[in-house]
Amino acid sequence: MRYLVKRLGRQHLFVRLMIPYFLFMLVALLLGGLFYNQTYDVVKDEVLRNNMQLLDQVKGTMDNRFSEINRIALQLSGDARVQNFQRVRDPFNSENTLKVIETQKNLYSYNASNHFVLDYYLIFGNSDLALSTNSIYELPAFYRHVLSYEGMDYEMWREELLGTYRNREVMLAGAASYQERPMPLLTYVQSLGYPSRIQGALVVLVDNRSMQAMLSGLDISDGGWVSILDEHGRVISSLSKGASPAADGVAYPEARGTIEASPATGDMMVTYTTSAYNGWRYVVAQPPHVVLGKVDSIKQTTLSIVAVFLVIGLLLAYLFATRNGRPLVRIVSTLTGRLESAEPERPKDMYGYIQNSLDRLIDDNGALQNAMERQSRMLWESFLVRLLKGDFLSADEIHKLLKHQGVDLSGAGYAVALLHFRAGERGMSDETLQALDVERVLIGKVLQQTLDDDRLAYPIAEDKIALLFTDASGDPAVFRSMIDRRLGNIAKNIRDGLELDLHIAVGGICPSLVEVAGSYEEARQSLYTMQEGADPGTGIVWYDELPTVQGGFYFPPETENRLINCTKAGETEEVGRLLHTLFEVNFQARHLPIAMQQLFFYEIISCLVKVREQLMQPDPEQIKHLQQQLGMQDNPKQALDALTDAFQSISTVVDKRKKSRNSRLLDDILAYLQQSYGHSGLSLDTAADHMHISKGYMSQFFKEQMGLTFSEYLENLRMDKARELLAATELPVGQIAEQVGYHSASTFSRAFKRGSGVSATAYRESAQKDAPPGAASNSAT
């Protein structure tokens, strides 16, 4: 023990490094225990909630299915034909037979898409009939061949069905014979009539296997079971593996919940929920180890992790302490070997020695920083150039550079002003440049006296200086007033000391430093506007005080949608007109800056891309070529002409395709009429169905293409064929009427006289007089 204490005293660095790891492990174990308890409760609640969600899903599906069944039952019970037929006692006499057939046909209107429903039958007590959508049975035959139950004869079944009034109730559930085959069924009954006078019943047969299939999603392994109980506690459907469901001995205190395992529940954990729709209860009983299997697994896993954590933690603490100590030893060795005036031997207090060495390094670094500060002005000017040109992509990049420069430009708004000074009209001679240098230095002194921070002034040209203003007030009006006051003082001081022509232009106020480039461009535009016609030295001009110029292009969403729709519809002339209108509005009625012109053209190209995507005709090469043209094009009319050609080429192709489709459709319709004109049932409806188009579109399309309605064209076609037969054959008029598609000779005769002005017989006599001899007889033969 003494040896261990002595060795640890020598290894004070190792012990010092190990202590934090021991503390970390202790805190981690405490937190792990706390988290385990919380996790155990959360996972248990989650498992129970998942069971409840599964039951709720089954309950919701069953409610939806039986809601549809109840809807059909309500509609059938209120049907006029069904109510009338309830009073029929002799269904097979001459006048009631038709009622039987009409009532059965009426059932087709109530077909259900519910896959739970095998079939449904209307049982009428007075007529002893059972009706379905595809069959009619007398009740004894129906019970023998269609639906019967074990241990119940016909009379018992009839009394059970028609002796008690049932309102959306389950009469029987279990094994039954359906169409002479054993099948588990649920018989759902809605009585017809009134409780005091039962006229019949609607019997809906539900396949119990479908209900069991829905329950199969619940885990009932190791003796578990799941049941559906009706509002009276009867088992409607159940599913189990092993023992039979034992739901009778379980008390359900609430509408939904979980009952812990106990002898009353057969050592099962019971989860249940009750339907608010029909009062049915959905119950699942599972062994606790099945329900809480995940929780027990987490418990075992947690204990294993804790044991492994302790072993690995101790090992890693030793390794990390050893590894972290080595760099300190190497650092001290390096410092003692390379620093001047370093101690020749390793010091006992390594951290103190390292601290002293760092102090010396910091002093040396301070000297280096002083050298770097001498270069800071150049870096600052580079920053201002990039800021004014808009080279920064994000505010984060700007703030990092400002922090590096030690400059705080935080504010609610920013604005750029341009000072343009000229000592008379002069060129760029050596004397002029030298004079500008002198003037720039003198103006710089004025700015130093007037501005709070003269670093925000930067000469962008020999005779121009940019000033950046920051809004510290948060009020644009106060900010603008401050700028006017500062610039007014600058202009006054410059004009008092120097004889210079001075222009001062200010761009708009922008909310962030990323948008300062926009304010700078606006100041430039204001300055150029002043130079074109303003009197120099009259004051300060803001960008928003310039004469109103519509700088934004005109291309509203509705025009874009119309351009796309016209192109897709093949309206080539309308496409050209729309683009020409856009040119007149944007380049004749407005004066757009170059940047805004580029944006306008790129919007048109974007519209072109949308058209090609919607028509599934992507052409990246064309888009790339148009972009290159815009980059090299100075004439906006030529650029828009290129875009117009691109749109109209697409529209032309679409128009050709549309006309080709219309031509093929018309040919198909006319060919079908030539083949089918002799069918008396031919109509606009049958022709539209044959061509797989709607009746309305068929009528409109035929009228547009032929100039006649469908019925007019068909009557003319039939009359032409009838004239040929009358002139070339000796067939009777009635037979000719049938061949050309008329039901009767009288209808044909009226149509023929209406279209030809003479009767069919008179037309034949006239035609045969003009025909060559023997032509009619040869044709008839």
Is the pLDDT higher at 780 or at 85?
Answer: 85
The label of the residue with tokens 């002029």 reads: 432
Alpha helices in 339-429 (DSSP H): 350-373, 376-389, 395-405
The label of the residue with tokens 């006239």 reads: 766
CB atoms near residue 414 (< 10 Å): 23
Indicate the DSSP class of residue 150: T
Residue 133 burial class via C-beta count within 10 angstroms: exposed 0-12, middle 13-18, buried 19 and up: middle
Is the pLDDT higher at 6 or at 117?
Answer: 117
What is the chain's length? 781
Query: How large a percentage of the chain has pLDDT more than 90?
Result: 0
Most trustworthy range by pLDDT among 159-173, 239-253, 354-368, 549-563: 159-173
CB 504 within 8 A of CB 495: no
Amino acid at 512: S
pLDDT higher than 60, residue 482: yes
Task: Give the closest residue to 469 by CA, choosing from 458, 481, 460, 456.
Answer: 456
Paired residues of 173 in beta bridges: 186
CB 171 within 8 A of CB 191: no
What's the rounded Cα separation, in Å, for the pair 530 and 520? 15
Amino acid at 82: V
Task: Give the closest residue to 214 by CA, choosing from 384, 75, 55.
Answer: 55
SS3 (DSSP) at 274:
strand
Q: What is the pLDDT of residue 530?
A: 66
Whether residue 416 sits in one domain with residue 449? yes
Q: What is the pLDDT of residue 243?
A: 58
> Do the bridges between strand 117-124 and strand 129-131 make them parallel or antiparallel, or are there none, so unpaired?
antiparallel
Q: Is residue 270 part of a domain?
A: yes
Whether residue 234 sits in one domain with residue 148? no
Q: Per-residue pLDDT averaged across 697-714, rounded?
A: 83
pLDDT higher than 50, residue 680: yes
Instruction: Look up residue 437 and give its two tokens.
Output: 């240098």
Paired residues of 193 in beta bridges: 198
- In degrees, to the nearest 5, what angle opens at C-alpha 465 toward C-alphas 461 and 467? 140
Q: What is the pLDDT of residue 44?
A: 73
Whether residue 167 sits in one domain with residue 206? yes
Task: Give the closest residue to 684 by CA, choosing from 705, 661, 710, 704.
Answer: 710
Q: Is residue 70 part of a domain?
A: no
pLDDT higher than 80, residue 126: yes
Q: Per-residue pLDDT averaged across 141-167, rounded?
A: 86
Indicate the DSSP class of residue 510: B
pLDDT higher than 70, residue 558: yes
Q: What is the pLDDT of residue 535?
A: 45
Q: What is the pLDDT of residue 423?
A: 42
Q: How confident is the model at residue 28 (pLDDT cuts 50, 70, 90)?
A: confident
Cα dihedral 217, 219, 223, 229 in deg (nearest 10): -50
Q: Per-residue pLDDT averaged across 516-531, rounded?
A: 73
What's the rounded Cα separation, in Å, for the pair 358 and 203? 95
Q: What is the pLDDT of residue 536?
A: 47
pLDDT higher than 70, residue 481: yes
Whether residue 117 sits in one domain with residue 34? no
CB-based burial, 465-501: b 16+ in 10 Å, e otherwise: bbbbbbbeeeeeeebbebbeebbeebbebbeeeeebe
Query: How large a percentage of the chain has pLDDT more than 70?
Result: 83
pLDDT higher than 50, residue 498: yes
Residue 653 burial class via C-beta count within 10 angstroms: exposed 0-12, middle 13-18, buried 19 and up: middle
Helices vs. strands in the chain: H and E counts, helices first: 27, 17
What's the rounded Cα separation, in Å, for the pair 453 and 412? 18
What's the rounded Cα separation, in Å, for the pair 508 and 248? 82
Task: Give the closest residue to 205 by CA, choosing from 133, 141, 274, 156.
Answer: 133
What's the rounded Cα separation, in Å, for the pair 520 and 694? 62
> How many CA within 13 A on the CB side of residue 594?
8
Q: Which domain holds residue 198?
A: 78-211
| Greatest alpha-carbon span in the chain | 149
Which element (helix H / strand E) includes 531?
helix 516-533
SS3 (DSSP) at 202:
strand
Last residue of a domain, one of 496, 520, 545: 545
Alpha-carbon 550 to chain mean position: 37
pLDDT higher than 80, residue 192: yes
Task: Give the closest residue to 168 by CA, choosing from 182, 186, 148, 141.
Answer: 186
Whether residue 768 sits in one domain with residue 689? yes
Whether residue 513 sits in one domain with residue 417? yes
CB 446 within 8 A of CB 490: yes
Residue 330 burial class via C-beta count within 10 angstroms: exposed 0-12, middle 13-18, buried 19 and up: exposed
SS3 (DSSP) at 381:
helix
SS3 (DSSP) at 187:
strand
Whether residue 197 sits in one domain with residue 157? yes
At 613-640, the pLDDT tens digits run 877 777 777 777 777 666 555 466 777 8
Any idea what the CATH number is for the domain that residue 440 is in?
3.30.70.270
Q: How confident is the model at residue 109 (pLDDT cuts 50, 70, 90)?
A: low
SS3 sequence, 88-106? Answer: CCCCCCHHHHHHHHHHHHH
At 291-302, the pLDDT tens digits run 677 666 777 777
Whether residue 541 sits in one domain with residue 438? yes
Q: Is residue 342 part of a domain?
A: no
Q: Is residue 196 part of a domain?
A: yes
Whether residue 193 sits in one domain with residue 86? yes
What's the rounded Cα separation, in Å, for the pair 646 and 622? 9
Window from 399-408, 452-461, 524-533 with minimum mean pLDDT: 524-533
Q: Mean of the per-residue pLDDT values for the chain? A: 78
Last residue of a domain, one of 495, 512, 545: 545
Q: How confident is the model at residue 652 (pLDDT cuts 50, 70, 90)?
A: confident
| Residues 6 or more apart whose Cβ sits within 8 Å of residue 488 | 540
SS3 (DSSP) at 222:
coil
What's the rounded Cα separation, in Å, for the pair 516 and 409? 12
Is the pLDDT higher at 345 or at 241?
Answer: 241
CB 322 within 8 A of CB 303: no
CB atoms near residue 723 (< 10 Å): 19
What's the rounded Cα separation, in Å, for the pair 530 and 532? 5
The label of the residue with tokens 């812990």 reads: 260
Window from 337-346, 369-378, 691-700 with minimum mean pLDDT: 337-346
Q: Is residue 364 part of a domain?
A: no
Q: Is residue 636 part of a domain?
A: yes
Residue 253 burial class via C-beta count within 10 angstroms: exposed 0-12, middle 13-18, buried 19 and up: exposed
Task: Give the closest residue to 448 by CA, choosing from 494, 392, 391.
Answer: 494
Whether residue 455 sits in one domain with residue 507? yes
End-to-end alpha carbon distance in the chain: 137
The label of the residue with tokens 């650029």 reads: 639
* Rg for the chain, CA atoms, rounded: 49
Cα dihedral 587, 593, 597, 603 in deg (nearest 10): -110
Whether residue 627 sits in one domain with residue 583? yes
CB 568 within 8 A of CB 610: no
Q: Per-residue pLDDT averaged across 350-370, rounded?
A: 73
pLDDT higher than 50, residue 534: no
| Residues 6 or more apart whose Cβ sits within 8 Å of residue 401 | 383
pLDDT higher than 70, residue 314: yes
Any idea what the CATH number is for the domain that residue 232 is in?
3.30.450.20
Alpha-carbon 191 to chain mean position: 48
Any idea what the CATH number is for the domain that residue 181 is in?
3.30.450
Window from 19-33, 420-434, 474-488, 674-688 with minimum mean pLDDT: 420-434
Window from 328-342, 530-544, 753-767 with minimum mean pLDDT: 530-544
Domain count, the chain: 6
Last residue of a domain, one of 211, 226, 259: 211
Q: Write the CA distances from 107 to 132, 138, 166, integer angstroms.
A: 7, 17, 21
Q: What is the pLDDT of residue 528?
A: 59
Q: What is the pLDDT of residue 61?
A: 84
Q: Is residue 67 part of a domain?
A: no
| Residues 6 or more apart whose Cβ sits within 8 Å of residue 365 | none
Q: What is the pLDDT of residue 244?
A: 57
CB-based burial, 573-601: b 16+ in 10 Å, e otherwise: ebbbebbeebbeebbeebebeeebbbebb
What's the rounded Cα separation, in Å, for the pair 720 and 238? 74
Whether residue 484 sits in one domain with residue 430? yes
Cα dihedral 210, 213, 215, 218 in deg (nearest 10): -170
Task: Give the closest residue to 585 by CA, choosing from 566, 568, 604, 572.
Answer: 604
pLDDT higher than 70, residue 167: yes
Q: Is residue 398 part of a domain?
A: no
Q: What is the pLDDT of residue 700?
A: 84
What's the rounded Cα separation, in Å, for the pair 363 and 447? 36
> How many CA within 13 A on the CB side of residue 565?
6
pLDDT higher than 70, residue 346: no
Most trustworthy range by pLDDT among 143-157, 207-221, 292-306, 493-507: 143-157
What's the rounded Cα separation, in Å, for the pair 567 and 562? 8
